[in-house]
Amino acid sequence: MVEDEWLIAEDVASDLRAAGYPVVGPVSSVAAALRLVEADKVDMALLDVQLNAETSLPIAEILLARGTPFAFVTGYGRGDLPARFRNCKFVAKPASEAAILTAVADLASLRAKKP
């Protein structure tokens, strides 16, 4: 999970752990997230778009190229994203626990179908 707001990151991580999902991170920067991706520690991801002075779009590019399922969890609108990301899973902030868990279940289903 990539989220720059510490409290949001911890709340979401806690909800995911309580639901039985292993959580890598959370991390709050592109560099930290890329280290996890490059180390093959990411099966699926939740990405906030705006991360302080940077965006998670470089992470999304790599995940998309690798076929790793991910969702944007963001205050941005779908139309604010570059066209290549507009069909990606999208959860609008503020996101409820149910919305996050549904998104992760959907991502896990995609992951299970991956050859």
Read off the pLDDT of residues 83-102 as tens digits, 9 standing for 90 and up: 999 899 999 999 999 999 99
pLDDT (0 to 100) of residue 82: 94
Verify cis geometry, omega within 30 degrees of 0, for the bond prior to 58. Answer: no
Tokens of 27: 């991390």
45 pairs with which residues across the strands?
A: 70
pLDDT average, residue stretch 58-73: 96
pLDDT average, residue stretch 49-66: 96
3-state secondary structure (DSSP) of residue 44: coil
pTM given for the model: 0.93
Residues 45/59, Cβ–Cβ less than 8 Å: yes
Report angle CA 6, 66, 82 to the nearest 5 degrees. Answer: 65
* pLDDT greater than 90 at residue 8: yes
pLDDT (0 to 100) of residue 111: 77
- Please provide the distance, in angstroms rounded to a whole number, between the alpha carbons at the two ends of the chain: 23
Calpha distance 12→6 (Å, rounded): 10
* pLDDT greater than 70 at residue 67: yes
pLDDT (0 to 100) of residue 113: 74
Task: Pick the more confident residue, 90 or 115.
Answer: 90
